[in-house]
Homo-oligomer: A and B are copies of this chain.
Amino acid sequence: MITLRIGIIGLGNMGSDHAKKLIRGTVPEVELTAVSDIDPNRLEVTRAYLPETVGFFGRPEDLMDSGLCDALIIATPHYDHPRLAIQAFDRGMHVLCEKPAGVYTKQVREMNERAQESGLVFAMMFNQRTNPLYRKMHELVHGGQLGAIKRVNWIITDWYRTQAYYDSGSWRATWTGEGGGVLINQCPHNLDLLQWICGMPSKVRAFCHQGKWHDIEVEDDVTAYLEFPNGATGVFITTTADLPGTNRLEITLEMGKLVCENNTLTLHKLSQNERVYCFESKEGFAQPSVDVSVVPAEGDNSQHMGIIASFAKAVLTGAPLIAQGEEGIRSLMLSNAMHLSSWTAETVQLPIDEELYWQELNKRIEESSLSKAQHN
């Protein structure tokens, strides 16, 4: 079997987890040939469970120039994703990037352009797209049999984190270290699924509360109101402080309603299109009949390893990706739009003013506790 020689850059929680799984042969199409981390201690820890045949590097550029890899998984802090991806494309290497694509769309746009020019395979680690529940929702909404979307409500408040989580690294939950809070760290998957299933909103008005529940400088509580190009509206509600949290995605369409909650997808299917029924009915309080059913959504939920396998197959055989790298900008655009709307206390049109976002982010980086600590 021809395999893809992959290197992992960044051996934090995600990178080291991927390394452990790949070295066990979890993805037959992939051979883990090199790893890098700028932290010598972390690299040392990794030597304990990786064989000597794997190349170990401190600088990511040395890994890229080693000739050991044809493709990279980038699992570094968010800010570095675009820069490292561009360096990889320049060297003719395929890239699978951890979420988020970056911290601000301006830098991600450049990454996307360089990916396009390179003709190389570029994928995003949107592993929740492999969840059968969300795949089924995507299929049902895009299939068209339920008509146009009218409303989307996602209460996704089950990202609980204690103060100890935030205290585990000085870079955590700082504008300088991560560039945001729950939106940039926990929610990229949800924001990607939202746009993947429902398309991109055209307007966002968000209310982000920074350090509301934790001793941090970034947002840990967000309520966002969304408007879509067809006039549909929605809310996206998230926090890292609700216990127990909720994960309930409800999509109302012309032909009924989809509700995904408690790992169950329920379809409420109308016998008639509401938009037609509304104007044809002679009765003020009448409703067409509704058929309620649990949608079977079994099957492969391969998560990260499924994304890595699809990435390898795309390189080796040209098979389609689960999540194109270029699509990473969409969830980031949503996250940036929510920040910007909250900072300016105004409704933001999408695509956002990327220059303004970058300026506003920089103001916060200058005031960041991490920046101040680094300057002292």
> Residues of A with Cβ closer than 8 Å to B?
150-151, 153, 155, 157, 160-166, 168, 205, 207, 209, 212-214, 221, 223, 225, 227, 231, 233, 235, 237, 239, 241-244, 246, 248, 250, 252, 256-257, 259, 268, 270, 274, 277-279, 281-288, 290, 345, 347
Contacts and interface: CB of A to CB of B under 8 A. Distances in A.
B243 A287 contact: yes
A257 B244 contact: yes
- In the complex, the count of this chain's copies comes to 2
A216 to B, nearest CB: 11
B287 A268 contact: no
B257 A162 contact: no
Contacts of A223: 225, 233, 235
- Chain B CB within 10 A, most for which of A163, A243, A277, A284: A243
Q: Secondary structure of the A side of the interface?
A: mixed
15 contacts: A151-B157, A153-B237, A155-B250, A160-B287, A162-B283, A163-B279, A165-B284, A205-B225, A209-B231, A213-B278, A243-B257, A243-B277, A243-B287, A244-B290, A246-B259
A163 B233 contact: no
A162 B278 contact: yes
Contacts of A237: 151, 153, 235
A246 B241 contact: no
A214 B256 CA distance: 18
B274 A241 contact: yes
A213 to B, nearest CB: 7
Contacts of A257: 242-244, 246
A235 B168 CA distance: 33
Contacts of A252: 157, 242-243
Contacts of A243: 252, 256-257, 270, 274, 277, 287-288, 290
Given A207-B205, A209-B233, A278 B151 contact: no
Contacts of A278: 162-163, 213-214, 241
A256 B242 CA distance: 8
